[in-house]
């Protein structure tokens, strides 16, 4: 029997699972989990008899296997899960000192994007809601509660949408961490049914989509997801999401030297974006030693960016953060899966 982690339960579920009475005990426990308590023994506002009866139940199922501190105040944690598998979570700090928690949604990733380290691992399983929430709690243990959350870690969030929904309901709950949904970004490589589901059923978070190229041939070579859902289908889904939510969409463009960095690529991207209310986040490719790509030259990147701007596209160049701990975009995956990868969830 797998004992569920309390971090994945809402107040009413805590009451039901632990058979608590009176019912306000669930809220008490929920609040203290959010505050970082690691055991029921630490919850001194509970009666001693209740603390004793609950002592054998874990509040968290994962543990920190490795901690790496970066030169830019970033921290990467490798978390060992209850079954021996591992995932990585990253704490990012910007120039103003605002903290962002970068969370994983799967062990490994089935999407096999050619330029991403995680894509080389294969796929083991989805994470449960408590395993997602615990990543945030472990990052908050480092000293301060992150103000922002990005589901941009290991895995494809829209292939684990129900667990994401449950985790978000916990992370945003007013009795607990109370993170604003406007401070949460969910990133996808382009799972069209997941985008439609998110538009119809929520939660309405900030949406980021890894675009990388607006040429079907190039994108299919770099991102196998494009072999199932072409760019035209992806744009249709994004327009549907935008019409439902009214939100601007972020388009992530990982730029690799000599691959997708020329003026023709910029013009194709600008043409594809036109109907969308979108911002393009330019991400100079973060090196992964075993992958056959290279960082774009400075001039190469500037020419690409200028052409997008000339064509009226709003762009932001993403700062390279956490690269010193292999925690930047596309670098996560210094973990060993304890079983052979399973590709059964590949679209």
- pLDDT for position 3: 61
> Positive or negative CA dihedral for 58, 62, 67, 73?
negative
Is residue 342 included in any domain, yes or no? no
The string of pLDDT tens digits covering residues 130-168 is 999 999 999 999 988 999 999 999 999 999 999 999 999
Q: How many CB atoms lie within 10 A of CB 329?
A: 24
Domain limits at 121?
62-325
3-state secondary structure of 56: coil
3-state secondary structure of 92: strand
Which residues, in sequence order, are bridge partners of residue 185?
A: 150, 206
Same domain, 43 and 108: no
Same domain, 41 and 77: no
Is residue 269 included in any domain, yes or no? yes
Which residues, in sequence order, are bridge partners of residue 207?
A: 186
Is residue 260 included in any domain, yes or no? yes
Is residue 330 included in any domain, yes or no? no
**pLDDT, averaged across the chain:** 90
Compute the distance between CA of residue 254 and CA of residue 330 in angstroms, rounded to an integer.
9
Per-residue pLDDT band at 2 (split at 50, 70, 90)? low
Is residue 335 included in any domain, yes or no? no
The string of pLDDT tens digits covering residues 11-56 is 999 999 999 999 999 999 999 999 999 999 999 999 999 999 999 8
3-state secondary structure of 123: strand
- pLDDT for position 330: 57
> Positive or negative CA dihedral for 82, 83, 86, 88?
negative
The string of pLDDT tens digits covering residues 256-314 is 999 999 999 999 999 999 999 999 999 998 888 889 999 999 999 999 999 999 999 99
Same domain, 40 and 187: no
DSSP state of 107: E
Strands 314-317 vs 278-284: parallel, antiparallel or unpaired: parallel
Which residues have a catalytic role annotated?
88, 329
Is residue 68 included in any domain, yes or no? yes
Half-sphere exposure of 282 toward its Cβ, with a 13 Å CA cutoff? 26
Same domain, 102 and 49: no
Same domain, 147 and 237: yes
Same domain, 22 and 115: no
Mean per-residue pLDDT, 194-199: 98
Q: What are the C-alpha distances in Å from 6 to residues 10, 36, 327?
A: 9, 12, 28
Cis amide linkage into residue 22, ω under 30° from 0: yes
Is residue 161 included in any domain, yes or no? yes
CATH number of the domain bearing residue 274: 3.20.20.70
Same domain, 52 and 75: no
Same domain, 268 and 148: yes
Do residues 31 and 37 lie in contact, with contact meaning Cβ atoms separated by under 8 Å?
no
- pLDDT for position 130: 97
Is residue 339 included in any domain, yes or no? no
The string of pLDDT tens digits covering residues 305-325 is 999 999 999 999 876 554 444
Domain count, the chain: 2
């Amino acid at each position: 029997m797998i004992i569920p982690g309390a971090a994945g339960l809402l107040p009413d579920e805590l009451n039901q699972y632990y058979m608590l009475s009176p019912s306000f005990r669930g809220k008490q426990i929920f609040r203290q989990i959010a505050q970082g308590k690691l055991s029921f023994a630490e919850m001194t506002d509970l009666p001693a008899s209740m603390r004793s009866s609950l002592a054998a139940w874990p509040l968290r199922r994962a543990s920190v296997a490795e901690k790496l501190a970066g030169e830019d105040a970033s921290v990467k944690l490798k978390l060992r899960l209850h079954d021996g598998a591992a995932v990585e979570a990253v704490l990012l700090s910007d120039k103003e000192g605002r903290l962002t928690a970068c969370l994983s949604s799967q062990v490994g990733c089935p999407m096999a994007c050619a330029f991403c380290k995680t894509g080389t691992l294969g796929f083991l399983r989805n994470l449960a809601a408590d395993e997602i929430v615990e990543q945030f709690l472990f990052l908050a243990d480092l000293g301060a509660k992150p103000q922002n959350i990005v589901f941009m870690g290991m895995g494809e969030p829209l292939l684990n949408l129900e667990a994401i929904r449950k985790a978000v309901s916990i992370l945003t709950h007013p009795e607990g961490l109370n993170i604003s949904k406007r401070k949460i970004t969910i990133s996808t490589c382009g799972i069209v049914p997941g985008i439609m589901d998110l538009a119809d059923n929520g939660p309405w978070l900030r949406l980021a989509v890894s675009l990388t190229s607006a040429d079907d041939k190039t994108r299919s070579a770099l991102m196998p997801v494009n072999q199932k859902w072409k760019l035209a289908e992806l744009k249709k889904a994004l327009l549907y999401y935008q019409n439902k939510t009214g939100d601007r969409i972020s388009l992530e463009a990982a730029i690799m030297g000599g691959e997708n960095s020329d003026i023709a690529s910029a013009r194709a991207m600008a043409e594809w974006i036109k109907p969308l209310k979108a911002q393009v986040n330019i991400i100079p490719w973060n090196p992964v030693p075993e992958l056959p790509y290279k960082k774009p030259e400075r001039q190469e990147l500037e020419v690409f960016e200028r052409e997008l701007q000339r064509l009226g596209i709003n762009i932001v160049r993403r700062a390279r953060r956490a690269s010193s701990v292999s925690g930047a975009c596309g670098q996560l995956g210094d973990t060993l899966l304890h079983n052979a990868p399973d590709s059964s969830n590949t679209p």
